[in-house]
Every structure is written in structure tokens, then in C-alpha cells.
Amino acid sequence: MSARVEQEVARLALHLDMVIRFHRENHRSIERKLGWSVSYLNKLIRGASPLRVEHILAVLEVLGEDPPTFFRAAYPTDRPLPQTAQDALAAFEAAKQPAETADDQLQARFSAGVRQALLELLTATPEASSAKPKGK
């Protein structure tokens, strides 16, 4: 196995362990539910036994977690990778939040446009705002 693959497996194992801790589960209770031997999950997390996708999916099923959410949090595309366990947990929680809808995006653009227009009005020079139109 290449160093890159080993690094990614270790990252997924750490992420899985954080999800387990987030659910306040211990390894032994998950092992019992899955019919695994004592310390098997710990060996998977530590890298003493090879961690496979099937293992991750089985643990997520026991925890009631959505696999796509788990992997999106482990591999975010729109933000840098977490540097600490706290950052990783925050990324995991953020990934569980519902995505912004088109209406939310439209509302945000509208609000930004109104703010910009008000700012331009407030910062306009007094001469420009008091000038009377030429004509009659």
C-alpha cells in the first residue's frame, strides 16, 4: 500500500473514531452490535488490522449515520481539510446542515444588492444629491 493510501486510511479511521465519540458510543458496544471480537474496532482504528469500506459502512449503520455525509465531512470540497479534531467535528456538523436552496441564494443576492444601493445613497456627495434637474 502506498504512503498516500495509508495516510488516507488513517484519516478515515480518525474521522470514524470522532463520529463514534460524537455519538457517545464506545468501541465495545459497537463490536457487540456487529458481532465483532473484542478490540477488533480498536485494531481497525489504530491500523493494526486493515480498515475496509465495509467496516466503515457497518459502523455508520450501527450509529444511524448517512455514509455520504460521513465522506463529505471527511473530504470537504469547499473548505480546507481540518487541522484539529475540533475542526473535523465542526466540519462533520456543518455537513449535516441542509444545503442552501435557490430561494435562499436569491434572497442573499437581493439583500446584498439593497445594502449596496443604500450604501451608495448614504455615501453620495451632498452636491450630487441636492442638485436640481435642469429644465423648466
- 58-101 pLDDT, tens digit per residue, is 999 999 999 999 998 888 776 655 567 777 777 777 766 655 56
Class of domain 3-95: mainly alpha
Domain boundary assignment for the chain: 3-95, 99-131
pLDDT (0 to 100) of residue 41: 96
Q: 76 with 91: CB under 8 angstroms?
A: yes
Which triple of cell numbers denotes residue 17? 473514531
Tens of pLDDT, residue by residue over 98-108, are 555 666 777 77
Give, in order, the Cα–Cα distances in Å from 119 to each of 17, 23, 94, 115, 123.
49, 47, 32, 6, 6
CB-based contacts of 65, cutoff 8 Å, min separation 6: 19, 23
Sign of CA pseudo-dihedral 39, 45, 50, 54: positive
